[in-house]
Structure 1
Amino acid sequence: MILAGGLGTRLAEETSIIPKPLVEIGSEPILWHIMKMLRSHGIREFIVCCGYKSLLIKRYFEEYRLRALNVTYDLATSSAEYHQPHEEDWRVTLLDTGLNTMTGGRLKRAAGLLDGEPFLMTYGDGVGNIDITSLTAFHRAHGKLATVTAVQPTGRFGAMYLTEEDPHVRAFKEKPEGDGTWISGGFFILQPRALDLIDGDDTVWEHGPMNALTDAGELVAYRHPGFWHPMDTLRDKTVLNDMWNKGAAPWRTW
């Protein structure tokens, strides 16, 4: 399940025209990159929870074969023949979960499409080289309702090391590793029962439900020390595109 309905206001240079999951890395949207990464770990069925500019996401998948494959149209029979096997075997459900629905509310609206098994949930704006297979095995082993992937992002600014007595810079490191704090990387494995903690459309998943899971001892962290990067700002888009264009994209696991 991929949450793809937010307004993406911090990337307004792009999202005034398209929803953030369609902002491109290389020639394909970040949503495609996320799905390719997940498919490399055996996931082929997706529920995309749409909201803001949902029609554009639906149109992207509607036109997917048309962009990717050569085609012959027979106007006499109103038929189309595609000339090579389709690269993807995805089954994608595009669910309009409302323009102003919060993250928890989007999950709740999609709950009826689940089959009772644990499922992966993530957001349509972050990539990483997370071992989804290992993450899933970890979740099944501990038996709790929810697993969250914990990541340590690198610093965004150069760090200077100073002492109180001496104004001279003792050390400088450009974009150092983080300060040791673990944050949510947005890749969850959830039991469907975890969604019972969501009241309705106004529920923010990251507030009430996650706090309730924590208080009940039902939220376990899977530590991912490898690469993870969000696409929150234009700078993030530039960084990710630079990696992709140089052939050095750590999230390319396919």
Structure 2
Amino acid sequence: MKVVLFAGGRGTRISEESQLRPKPMIEIGGKPMLWHIMKTYAHYGHNEFIICLGYKGWLIKEYFANYFLHNADMTVDLRNNSIEFLNNNAEPFKVTMIDTGLDTMTAGRLKRVLPYTNNEPFLLTYGDGLIDADINQTIDFHKQTGKICTMTSIQAGSRFGVIKMQDNGIIESFEEKPKDSGSWINAGYFVLQPEIKDYLQGDMDDIMWETEPMANLAADQQIAAYKHHGFWKCMDTLREKEELEAMWEKGAKWKCW
């Protein structure tokens, strides 16, 4: 299946990094977030990517256009202007990069790249979230439901520690940032049927994929949740970037390749 990647937003919540490059190009372990996500999909056999470009999209184009240059040892002979590559660190990626507008919202970006999905089922995610889910299991689940959209869901963890107390206010125990609060949230990994185009009619440029299209899918009972109980983390802030860097150094849970 082809994989559509949202990579056009401004990433204002991590402006310390995004003022220089698109958020999906912020590096974890010396590689862009986008690369980590693509490596996960490629591990499960999905090597064709369609990237929705916007803010500073030329940097993403430059990275992939010169991928071999970025990742191979080389000898440059200035006498005859020749380059000899000494090793091959290429990836089996086929990457289509589409300018979907500087300020286009996610529903508009998705609509603009639909022609490149060849009217076939496809995968969709954002350029800032990492997961250790088995992508092919989500596809199998999607096929079993027969719905237009399957969304991988995770249980939301609390940002803060919680207190367990008696009715009289006596504290019994503390729990530091419990992982499972009981609420399921959107993890941002989707499987979609071509019929999704019916939910992207008209001008979608000012519409978020997470609002009107998904709400209409839910109203029509055409969206199912694949419950993932493993690792997931989104990089919205500099602190979260640093946390992911620390995880990478210790052996990242999302690294399946």
Classify the TM-score, shorter chain.
over 0.9
Query: What residue is the counterpart of 1:124 in the other structure?
Result: 127
Q: Which amino acid is the alignment partner of residue 49 of structure 1?
A: C
What SS class does the counterpart of residue 116 from structure 1 fall into? coil
In the alignment, structure 1 residue 221 sits paired with structure 2 residue 225: yes
Query: What residue is the counterpart of 2:241 in the other structure?
Result: 237
Q: Which amino acid is the alignment partner of residue 53 of structure 2?
A: C
Unaligned stretches of 5+ residues in structure 2: none
The question of whether the paired residues in 2 share the 8 Å contact of 1:3 and 1:49 is answered with yes
Query: What residue is the counterpart of 2:190 in the other structure?
Result: 188
Q: Of 75, 89, 93, which residue of structure 1 is paired with 2:92? A: 89
TM-score (norm 1): 0.94
Question: Bigger CA drift: 153-162 or 3-12?
Answer: 153-162
How many matched pairs? 252
Cα displacement (A) at 1:74: 5.4
1:77-136 Cα shifts (integer Å, max 9, x gaps): 655332323431100011110001000000000011112221000000000101101001
Q: Of 69, 72, 88, which residue of structure 1 is paired with 2:72? A: 69
- CA–CA distance in structure 2, aligned partners of residues 133 and 241 of structure 1: 27
1:218-237 Cα shifts (integer Å, max 9, x gaps): 10111101110000111211
TM-score (norm 2): 0.93
- CA–CA distance in structure 1, aligned partners of residues 103 and 140 of structure 2: 34
- CA–CA distance in structure 2, aligned partners of residues 222 and 94 of structure 1: 28
Q: Which amino acid is the alignment partner of residue 184 of structure 2?
A: W
Query: What residue is the counterpart of 1:6 in the other structure?
Result: 9
Query: What residue is the counterpart of 1:18 in the other structure?
Result: 21
What SS class does the counterpart of residue 186 from structure 2 fall into? strand
The question of whether the paired residues in 2 share the 8 Å contact of 1:153 and 1:229 is answered with no
- CA–CA distance in structure 1, aligned partners of residues 158 and 128 of structure 2: 19
Query: What residue is the counterpart of 2:54 in the other structure?
Result: 51
Query: What residue is the counterpart of 1:176 in the other structure?
Result: 178
Q: Of 180, 204, 207, which residue of structure 2 is paired with 1:203? A: 207
Q: Which amino acid is the alignment partner of residue 124 of structure 2?
A: M
Query: What residue is the counterpart of 2:255 in the other structure?
Result: 252
Unaligned stretches of 5+ residues in structure 1: none
Q: Which amino acid is the alignment partner of residue 170 of structure 1?
A: E
